[in-house]
Structure 1
């Protein structure tokens, strides 16, 4: 299970990632919403062990070692980080990504048979920019899972490629619930889909707002007519004593 408490990353002027808490276990898809791309990417990098936090805790299977989180996770399609270059063909991307798989698993991973086995032959000669959102996500998540050590999938802003959640949500749900290889899946999104009723969190959900208690001003005492008569009587008595 991935457990995060008060995770925060400093920025130049404001927090790059405001304090955020969440948890997700294998077999579960968690959607985390946040309005800013920088915040969503910072969270994705931190959850996958690729950016050090300034404060807070992050554990994977009860271990706080960043290396363990990084080895168990895959960061998918993070803008400005590891999103594929648009001028690449699918075939070239597959060749490039498979070469990054740990050596002990790499022997059998050649691009041509991999494309066939994973049913991407129909798009092998297309440019990345030509891929529809659903096929793009299928390709990139399949490449990430070519490493059998990956149990945690962190997908950065899949909704930026399509406003239609059906282009990416079913794929992520299927990956999380795969009985043969249940994954902990986290996706950062700009907003939760209307149809989503599963686990969700919001970036900055651990920010504590403190306000000083404002003491009410004492109400002005307005004397009643009876009180006024008593005051006038006391004043008359004081004058009489002074005269004597």
Structure 2
């Protein structure tokens, strides 16, 4: 199976999705870059036959058949379209998908299915709290349970965090199992361009050339950097070092020697002074007598 998008776009002047062309086929993984909040989902809907582009066309095995495309390609984890509510337990999500696949959908069936994949202990955990890689694994496994599914369009797995190696490896495993895989990711322009070069991804985010050109221009600017070499002249800066001279301040510590003032404390010996008062009292007594 081979799905091809021929210069498709969506929205006035391609605001929802700029002109984009790409292909993905059985047994291989293709990565496409789509930034902004809506473009990843819009691209996913068009690539899986669930949205008609405003320009261009989508074909499956050379024919334009949206119904066949929808039947054979599953749209996985697309924001606001096919992503499960974050508060629903994993067992609840599994039960619902089992029902769509025409299989037993009771809580017991869901737990047994999770046990076969080694995730039984996560049955009662909200899907919003599931590890990003485990989430991708489980949602893709559930998607291929549906009869006739031969391909998967996985939307923005990177939005859940974690290492890209997780969903990258998992997508590759599904491709090895014979599925056509398209993974739509976002990210900063610089990182996205590097990944596009490495993975031969398609850019569905519009023109980014200015960003590329901007990076090389500043590169030569560093050459004048040698000018700062005269900085050695700034060595006079050490002159302010003399400022530490105020260190004499500690000499002021001797002022603490003022403590000797207590030497005047001998004032207590002057206590005998009150003796005269006693004499006065004696005289008063004498007078009284």
Tell whether the structures are fold-level matches, with TM greater than 0.5.
Answer: yes
1:6 deviates by: 0.6
- In 2: Cα distance, 1:108 partner to 1:34 partner: 35
**Which structure's relative contact order is higher, taking Cα pairs within 8 Å and 6+ residues apart?**
1
Counterpart of 1:32 in 2: which secondary structure? strand
Structure-to-structure mapping, 1:154-193, within 5 angstroms: 154-162=153-161, 164-178=163-177, 182-191=178-187, 192=192
Within-5 A mapping of 1:113-192: 113-162=112-161, 164-178=163-177, 182-191=178-187, 192=192
TM-score norm. by structure 1 comes to 0.75
Q: Give CA-to-partner distance per residue, 1:165-203, whole Å, 9 cap, x none.
A: 12321111111122xxx1111011114496773341111
Q: CA deviation at 1:96?
A: 1.0
**Per-residue Cα deviation, 1:88-126 (whole angstroms, up to 9, x for no partner):** 11111111111112x4xx369932332222322121121
SS of equivalent to 1:126: coil
Contact 1:29-1:199 at 8 Å conserved across structures = no
User: Alpha-carbon deviation of 1:130?
Assistant: 1.7
> Which is worse superposed, 147-156 or 66-75?
147-156
Contiguous gaps of at least 5 residues in structure 1: 207-244
What's the C-alpha RMSD, in Å, of the aligned pairs? 2.4
The 8 Å contact of residues 73 and 149 in structure 2, kept in 1 or not, is answered as: yes
* Structure 2 residue aligned with 1:44: 44
1:87-102 correspondence runs (5 A) = 87-101=87-101
Deviation at 1:14, TM superposition (A): 5.0
With over 3 angstroms needed to count, the CA separation of the structure-2 counterparts of 1:29 and 1:199, relative to structure 1, is farther
Residue 6 in 1 paired to residue 2 in 2? no
Native 8 Å contact 1:40 1:157 kept in 2? yes
Residues 19 and 204 in structure 1, CA contact (< 8 A), matched pair in contact too: no
SS in 2 for 1:141: helix
**Alpha-carbon distance in structure 2 between the residues aligned to 1:9 and 1:195:** 24
Number of paired residues? 200
Distance in 2 (alpha carbons) for counterparts of 1:22 and 1:5: 7
Rounded to whole Å, the distance in 2 between the matches of 1:38 and 1:123 is 30
For 2:81, the equivalent position in structure 1 comes to 81
Q: Quick check: 2:30–2:183 contact (8 Å CA) kept in 1?
A: yes
In the other structure, the counterpart of 1:29 is 29
Distance 2:33 2:72 in 1: 23
Q: Tell me if the contact between 2:33 and 2:203 (Cα under 8 Å) persists in the aligned partners.
A: yes
Give 1:210-225 correspondences, 5 Å limit.
Answer: none
Return the alpha-carbon distance in structure 1 between the equivalents of residues 129 and 205 of structure 2.
35
Unaligned runs of 5+ in 2: 208-289
